[in-house]
């Protein structure tokens, strides 16, 4: 019964340890992913300062970096707390094992003394010969064998538990080092956060000095964005009309799909949440939906997709298999690419040039062209996903990083 209880406790301890290790791995993965994004923000900010980009651009980037830094500080706090709990558990286990070994050694020592006192062959022989029957002699032989086995088992258990203590001590030292590293990283992050917030205050004060000018600039860009959204809608409406022309059973406002296009749409939909980013490196500087402007909070922004800020010269890439159905050139020479995936369309705006042609079949990660860099030195891809005419939140479709 006692052995059974020990076995259950051992299994539960192993299970809790596995859960703890899994949580550690998950947090470390999150920390690494966010750190990669912070590194991207640092890269963009360094470029912004070197190229003397607009204050608005710098404020938006530093604002996003601050948010990510706060996220990673929260994660490192969780990591430190998890390691602290693990250290306490290991310390308690080591203390318990030491007590058990002390008790085992005392029992073992008493048994050795007893065995020594009766170890000569003559006493054992007399013990057997004094048996009243053959059955009693047989049972006495079994007793002596069991006694010897038990002594060996105790010796083995002392060795096993001693080895376990050694392993636990090594794990404890390792965890203490990990905690020290995590706390050092946390302190560095907090120092960086304080510097970024100080820089943000300086930049925001500069914006406030000429708030009307920046507000007018933001509103102008909002009108330009709305115009582009209307153009995208018109283009897709024309594409839907062209796909339905002369088709029996076509539905107004919906693409007429061939069996191959239906299969492509099903595949696209089944990959929701798994699509790669349309850029190999970069950060999201604007998300989907209505949101306050990161600089002038009283100016709401309506976003029909994502904006990815990337290093200069970055290439946009297809997020899924499909067909290039439109390459639109705007009045200012900026290009936009539409890729069809059945009744879904992905739009890649603010392109400097394209490396694909209309009607070309593309695969996931096929390069589409170079992203445009504006006069402020900002390289930003405008990305959108639409089902028929309905804009979709890219957060539901793209891999989270």
Walking along the chain (401 residues) 10 residues at a time, the average pLDDT comes out as 45 52 77 74 64 65 82 86 81 76 67 54 52 61 59 67 74 80 85 83 76 75 80 87 86 90 95 96 87 71 88 94 93 90 96 96 97 85 95 94 71
8 A C-beta contact, residue 360 and residue 326: no
As separate numbers, helices (DSSP H) first and strands (DSSP E) second, the chain gives: 6, 12
- Cβ contact 270:397 at 8 Å: no
Rounded CA gap, 262 and 7, in Å? 55
Q: Which pLDDT does position 398 carry in this prediction?
A: 96
The per-residue pLDDT for 5 is: 42
| Count of residues making up the chain | 401
Q: What DSSP line would sit under 134-187, residue for residue?
A: HHHHHHHHHHHHHHHHHHHHHHHHHHHHHHHHHHHHHHHHHHHHHHHHHHHHHH
Residue recorded with tokens 């604002």: 63
Give the position of tokens 């309905």.
390
DSSP string, 82-146: HHHHHHHHHHHHHHHHHHHHHHHHHHHHHHHHHHHHT-SHHHHHHHHHT-SSHHHHHHHHHHHHH
What's the Cα-to-Cα distance from 297 to each of 7, 198, 291, 367, rounded to whole Å? 60, 19, 9, 36
| CA-wise closest residue to 62 among 346, 321, 309 | 309
b or e along 119-129 (b: 16 or more beta carbons within 10 Å of the residue's beta carbon)? Answer: eeeeeeeeeee
Give the three-class secondary structure for 219.
helix
- Residue 218 and residue 222: Cα distance in Å, rounded? 6
- Residue 305 to residues 120, 352, 372, Cα–Cα distance (Å): 90, 19, 17
Q: What b-and-e string marks burial along 18-28, b requiring 16 or more CB atoms within 10 Å of the CB?
A: eeeeeebeebe
Q: Is the dihedral of CA 41, 42, 47, 49 positive or negative?
A: positive
**Confidence at residue 268, expressed as pLDDT on a 0 to 100 scale:** 97
Task: Say if residues 351 and 316 touch (Cβ distance below 8 Å).
Answer: yes
The pair of three-digit structure tokens given for residue 101, joined into one six-digit string: 């070994």
pLDDT of residue 46: 67
Residues 6+ apart with CB under 8 A from 245: none
d(CA 27, CA 32): 9
Angular region, 289: left φ>0, alpha ψ -120 to 50, beta rest:
left
Lookup result for tokens 């507000």:
215
For residue 47, which of 313, 307, 277, 286 has the smallest C-alpha distance? 313
Opening angle at CA 284, ends 280 and 290, nearest 5: 145
Give the model's pLDDT for residue 342.
Answer: 94
350 dihedral zone (left: phi>0; alpha: psi -120 to 50; beta): left
Name the residue among 194, 172, 198 with its Cα closest to residue 97.
Answer: 172
């Amino acid at each position: 019964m006692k052995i059974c209880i020990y076995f259950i406790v051992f299994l539960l301890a192993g299970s809790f340890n596995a859960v703890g290790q899994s949580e550690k791995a998950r947090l470390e993965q999150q920390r690494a992913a966010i750190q990669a994004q912070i590194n991207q923000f640092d890269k963009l900010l360094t470029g912004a300062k070197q190229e003397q980009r607009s204050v608005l651009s710098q404020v938006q980037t530093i604002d996003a970096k601050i948010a990510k830094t706060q996220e990673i500080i929260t994660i490192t706090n969780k990591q430190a707390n998890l390691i602290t709990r693990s250290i306490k558990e290991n310390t308690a286990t080591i203390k318990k094992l030491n007590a058990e070994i002390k008790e085992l050694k005392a029992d073992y020592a008493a048994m050795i003394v007893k065995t020594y006192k009766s170890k000569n062959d003559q006493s054992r022989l007399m013990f057997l010969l004094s048996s009243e029957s053959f059955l009693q002699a047989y049972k006495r032989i079994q007793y002596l064998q069991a006694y010897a086995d038990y002594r060996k088992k105790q010796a083995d258990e002392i060795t096993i538990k001693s080895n376990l203590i050694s392993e636990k001590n090594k794990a404890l030292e390792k965890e203490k080092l990990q905690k020290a590293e995590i706390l050092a990283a946390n302190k560095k992050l907090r120092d960086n956060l304080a510097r970024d917030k100080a820089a943000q205050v300086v930049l925001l004060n500069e914006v406030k000095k000429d708030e009307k000018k920046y507000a007018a600039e933001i509103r102008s860009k909002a009108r330009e964005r709305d115009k582009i959204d209307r153009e995208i809608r018109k283009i897709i409406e024309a594409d839907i009309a062209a796909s339905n022309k002369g088709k029996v059973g076509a539905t107004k406002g919906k693409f007429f799909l061939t069996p191959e296009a239906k299969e492509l749409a099903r595949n696209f939909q089944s990959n929701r949440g798994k699509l790669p980013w349309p850029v190999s490196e970069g950060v999201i500087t604007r998300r989907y939906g209505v949101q306050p402007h990161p600089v002038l909070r009283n100016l709401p922004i309506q976003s029909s997709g994502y904006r990815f800020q990337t290093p200069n010269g970055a290439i946009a890439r297809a997020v899924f298999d499909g067909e290039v159905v439109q390459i639109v050139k705007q009045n200012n020479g900026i290009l936009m690419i539409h890729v069809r995936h059945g009744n879904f369309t992905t739009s890649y705006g603010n392109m400097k040039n394209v490396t694909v042609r209309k009607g070309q079949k593309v695969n996931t990660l096929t390069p589409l062209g170079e992203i445009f860099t504006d006069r402020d030195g900002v390289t930003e891809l405008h990305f959108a996903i639409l089902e028929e005419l309905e804009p979709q939140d890219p957060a539901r479709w793209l891999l989270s990083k």
